Copies of this chain bind each other. A is one copy, B any other.
């Protein structure tokens, strides 16, 4: 009979904590943590660091000097161990080879096929397997990875910074700076979690951002292994200035920049840009599908009220991240979102607040959008 031991939760929480070390660097792989425990004593731990590198289980096994100790130990893994040869050997096999006798798993891996999954392999081999300890937290680590598998599209976050009165920029287009420096640093973590960042041409023209990930503490902590996201500029009519900062940034850091246009207007080769051909009838949903085809699980939309508003009203946003600065900007300003006409209180869009955090005197609010 399978027993859930109270300490299982304690050890799984540790595995979750170390899994998160990989949140910014493992994409397109999921972030995974593993701790190995015997007689309620920690033997070893590991986490997946980068695509192509050792999985968490292998790193945990390797961290134990005396491999004999592994016999009869319990492995806590935030995600079901893999059972296939990819860039690395199957982890389920390694666990068996070293005599691990009990495996506690946080979340199932939707990518594992049912009959040949890591879990079924372990169970068939007579190992005690417990599934679903700290399941929500374990699933949350890889929310985009799970979502994109289930829905065949990326998980989309939309980030906006606003004054308390819901304004994002002056009529002149000026918006530097609404949110404080700590909030802007926080955004860099959000970018680092994303496989792609989408913006609109107006944001490039008016704000001229790099949308880069240059936060020193973030880069240092993750050993400069942050995989830069794909940058996507929606520019239907081809108005991208060849001297936009984002182009320079992308050239310098050798990232991928998609210029989504109906007709290309600039010398892409010279600027190190990829043209994505866009037809008149194509929309944001089409772009998201292109990204999905490129193995992108997490997309961040960082743009102005028009594109953000379109994404929301087209039902393409999973999470709305709002940074509220302690400021009032008044009425000669641009709104948070441009939405299609809503005439009645019954027709307004309902959100669900899932997280609220103070960042110095700014607030960071995360909402989901409720389906009607």
Binding site for B on A (CB under 8 A): 162-167, 170-172, 174-177, 312, 320, 322, 324, 326-333, 335-345, 348-353, 356, 358, 361, 363, 365, 367
Which residues of B are found within 8 Å of A353, using beta-carbon distances? Answer: 326, 358, 361, 363
- The answer to whether B345 and A352 have CB atoms under 8 Å apart is no
Given A164-B336, A352-B361, residue A170 in contact with residue B345 (CB < 8 A): yes
Nearest CB on B from A20, distance (A): 24
Given A166-B162, A167-B166, A365-B164, residue A326 in contact with residue B352 (CB < 8 A): yes
- The answer to whether A341 and B332 have CB atoms under 8 Å apart is yes
Copies per complex of this chain = 2
Contact for A339 among B172, B177, B328, CB less than 8 A = B328
- The answer to whether B331 and A350 have CB atoms under 8 Å apart is no
A365–B340 CA distance with the chains assembled, in angstroms: 28
A29–B350 CA distance with the chains assembled, in angstroms: 43
A208–B308 CA distance with the chains assembled, in angstroms: 35
- The answer to whether A330 and B337 have CB atoms under 8 Å apart is yes
Question: In this complex, what residue of B is CB-closest to A333?
Answer: B342
Interface centre among A170, A331, A356 (most CB of B within 10 A): A331
Given A165-B337, A337-B165, residue A348 in contact with residue B363 (CB < 8 A): no
* 21 pairs, CB–CB < 8 Å, chain A vs chain B: A162-B166, A164-B320, A164-B351, A165-B337, A170-B344, A174-B345, A175-B345, A176-B345, A312-B328, A326-B350, A326-B351, A326-B352, A326-B353, A328-B339, A328-B349, A330-B340, A331-B337, A331-B339, A353-B361, A356-B363, A363-B365
